[in-house]
Every structure is written in structure tokens, then in C-alpha cells.
Amino acid sequence: VALAGGGTRLSDIICNSSLLGRYLTVEDRDSFPELQGVLCAVPSNIMQKAEQIFLSQLDFSKILS
């Protein structure tokens, strides 16, 4: 499953600090690398399930209108 059909997997975003920084704002920027490391270490099966749940909640009719 790719995020919104764009070919980018959730794990690709989370494990790339530049991409993650586009979507996630952390008040204490010094903690960003640690948070990213913890998120990136999430097992792939759990990451895929989180991605599926996220995508199932999107209302594409609102996005495309």
C-alpha cells in the first residue's frame, strides 16, 4: 500500500528525516532524531497496518474536490 497512490510508503517517509520533517513538527527539534529512530524501528508489519488504517480513513472525494 502506498500513501495516497503516490508510491511512497509510510516507512519511507518515517525513515527519511527530510521527508518526515515535512509532515511532522516537533516542538523540541533536538528530540527529532530520537523520535525518528524510535518510529523507524517499528516492525514493518505494524507500520503497514498503521498505513492501511490511515488510508482507510481518507475521504478521497474531499481531497479531489
pTM of the model: 0.71
The residue extents of the domains of the chain are 3-64
User: How many C-beta atoms surround the C-beta of residue 35 within 10 A?
Assistant: 14
Which residue type is seen at 39? L
Rounded distance between C-alpha atoms, residue 60 and residue 40, angstroms: 27
Per-residue pLDDT of the chain (65 residues; tens, 9 = 90+): 446 556 788 899 999 999 999 988 889 989 999 999 999 999 999 999 998 898 888 777 776 66
Rounded distance between C-alpha atoms, residue 49 and residue 44, angstroms: 9
List alpha helices for the chain, DSSP H: 10-14, 17-23, 32-40, 44-56, 60-64
Length of the chain: 65
